[in-house]
Amino acid sequence: MSTTAGNADYGLVGRFGFEPGMVVQELGWDEDIDEDLRGAVEAAIGGELVDDRYGDVVDAVLLWWRDDDGDLVDGLVDSLTDLAEGGPVWLFTPKVGRDNYVDASDIAEAAPTAGLATTTSLAAGPNWSATKLVSPKSSRAGRRTS
């Protein structure tokens, strides 16, 4: 299935792993986001994205983040509030050279502090980059505190 939204073909949304029936929470929406990409995600899941008022567990988080949005660690930790165990956080940041781009080293430093690991990075349309963040398997398996 080719996913098309607006005038842009975003077949790459399939690389994000979104599937029909998934509940995807969108955080950080603003007027500068890529509406075509957003629409392609909604087409892939077969429904609308939910926001932070959803109040239930979600399968994945789509987080739009800009350099002037504040502390990235806090943003990442907040993105985990409703996320199901094992679900990914897709961090969308402006590409290098765009206003408010986020340096890759900032993401690399913030992710482990928030309890996440970076797994994949790819271009997400003309103005945004996407980074997949997940909870490291070792952090949840076999650890007990007494």
Going by C-alpha positions, the residue among 52, 121, 55 that lies closest to residue 93 is 121
Q: 4-135, which class in CATH?
A: alpha beta
pLDDT for the residue numbered 11: 67
Sheet holding 89-94, edge to edge: 24-27, 60-64, 89-94, 128-134, 117-123
Contacts of 102 (CB under 8 A, 6+ apart): 65, 66, 67, 72, 93, 94
pLDDT (tens place) for every residue of the chain, 146 residues total: 334 444 344 566 778 999 999 999 999 999 999 999 999 999 999 999 999 999 899 999 999 999 999 999 999 999 999 999 999 999 999 999 898 999 999 999 999 999 999 998 988 889 999 999 999 875 444 444 44
pLDDT for the residue numbered 2: 39
Domain residue ranges in the chain: 4-135
